[in-house]
Chain A
Amino acid sequence: MGTSDAALVRRVQTGDTRAYADLVARYRDRLGRYALHMLGNREDAEEVLQDAFVRAYRSLASCDDPERFGAWLYGILVNRCRTAGARAARRAQRFVYDPTALERAPSAAPDGRTEWEDVVRWALARLPPESREAFLLKHVEDLEYEDMARLTGAGVSALKMRVKRAREQLRAILKEAERV
């Protein structure tokens, strides 16, 4: 068994910066999965992830409970994803229709994705951000509603409602995709 999160956090808090590399390596893929699904593209996800790790380091002195470093870091990432998502939405609103660029765009999935993967991405992208966030935290990251409430600041009832609505919307979207 490796060094605990708490031990690594305390090492960083006492000046051993290298211990932070172990924490980054430990959480990189797990948090990356959430960011990737939430934002829908790898570049944005990696940027947000890097930003979350740097912000967490900057605030590490205020991490009162090093045993719960993972949950604390998760909270920072969820917030960064919200900010990045809002920024991306504003960018999308400024999209200019360009038929030439569309014609030149590759028609097949660029990185060998299957059709099902494309459908999953498309379906997730069509969910409103707060529904996507609730669905991912509950059904992909497997969090309890109480933990989700701590991370998101929303009430448990509201989160249950969001998850339920997300499932209904996804079911309808996936059904629609089957027909096309």
Chain B
Amino acid sequence: MTTVDVVSDAAVVAKRNLIKIKRVPDLLVFTTLSPIMFVLLFAYVFGGAIDPSGGGAAYREFLIAGIFAQTVVFGATNTGAGLADDVKKGIVDRFRSLPMAPSAVLTGRTLSDVVNNVIVLVVMSITGLIVGWRIHTGPLEALWGFVLLLIFAYAISWIMAWLGLLIPSPEVINNASFIVIFPLTFVANTFVPLDTLPGPLRVFAEWNPVSSVTQAARELFGNPSPNPSAAVSTAWSLEHAQLYTLIWSVAVVAVFAPLAAAQYRRAASR
């Protein structure tokens, strides 16, 4: 098995997953519709309360990076559900009977989910621009902000890949990940500044990687807190949000890629 085979096999599998987006556009519509709904709900229901002086305009700028982070984390569920579905339908059996690189099923899946996230981020950015979100920094910084979000999402995909193979039922995966992802994306700085949270919850939120990737994106897009007078968190994870996000993402891939690979061999050989 040459390196060329490993890469081209992953590309073939990724292409196969992407064709599904083309054939079932409803899937993409519904993955983007709920974050758009979140933008509108939070911006216009909570916006005025959190940021009364500006009529919610500053809050909307603050909100968008949080919604981006939440959306890509939720999007990672697709990785798990997609793999679970492939195991269930016997497609993984077919793959495993072929002389292809065994890694390609997993890398192809996580790579196609990156493409999926790019499309979702584009749709979300346009929605953001419509409700008044702006990038106040340079193009390179903004681009790095998006790349950081994608790296983070890629890492979460590997956790979901492992889960999807551990629990090969697409329905269970969707429900199970919901109860983990919901607190993870809410007990964070995604929708509110952290200074109002009570002690232990605040520490959790500060070290929650969803907070750090959100913070990093806000820095890189130049979107400040709607409440400049509030106490700023001094946690290392938020002061070095970009570095913490990267360390966390690399660590997650280092742990969960081998776990997922082992589970792939096991799941399919029962």
Do A and B interact? no
